[in-house]
Amino acid sequence: MTVRETVLDNGLKVLVQEVHTAPLASVWCWYRVGSKDEAPGVTGVSHWVEHMNFKGTRNIPRDQVKGIIEKFGGAWNGYTWIDQTTYLETASADALDRMLFIEAERMDACLYDPADCESERTVIISELQGGENDPEQLLDTEVTAAAFKVHPYHHPTIGWLSDLRTMTREDLYGHYRRYYVPANATLVVVGDVESDDVLKRVESKFGGFAPGSPPARVTQTEPDQQAERRVVLRKAGTTAYWKAVYHAPAFADEAFFPMLVADAVLNGAAGLNIWSMGGVSRPQRSARLYRALVDGGLASTVSGALMPTDHPYLYSISASVAEGKTLAAVEDVVLQEIERLRRGGITPAEFAKVKAQLRARFVYDADSVTDIAHQLGFFETIGSWRAYHGIRERLDAVTPEQVHAAVQRYFTPENRTIGWFEPK
Q: What is the tens place of the pLDDT at every residue in 301-320?
A: 999 999 999 999 999 999 99
- For residue 279, the model assigns a pLDDT of 61
- For residue 225, the model assigns a pLDDT of 98
Domain 3-206 has CATH 3.30.830.10: yes
Q: What is the tens place of the pLDDT at every residue in 68-77?
A: 888 888 999 9
Residues 6+ apart with CB under 8 A from 417: 143, 146, 147, 225, 228, 229, 230, 231, 244, 245
Q: What are phi and psi of 197, to 5 degrees?
A: -65, -45
Helix (H) or strand (E) holding 66: helix 65-70
Contact 28, 227 (CB under 8 A): no
Helix, strand, or coil (residue 358): helix
Contact 54, 110 (CB under 8 A): no
Ranges in the chain, pLDDT < 70: 278-280
- For residue 214, the model assigns a pLDDT of 87
Residues 6+ apart with CB under 8 A from 67: none
Residues 6+ apart with CB under 8 A from 41: 163, 166
Question: How far out from the chain centre does Cα 59 lie?
Answer: 31
Please classify residue 422 by burial: count the beta carbons closer than 10 Å to its beta carbon, then call 0-12 exposed, 13-18 middle and 19+ buried. Answer: middle
**Rounded CA separation 16/193 (Å):** 9
- For residue 167, the model assigns a pLDDT of 98
Domain 229-423 has CATH 3.30.830.10: yes
Domain boundaries, the chain: 3-206, 229-423
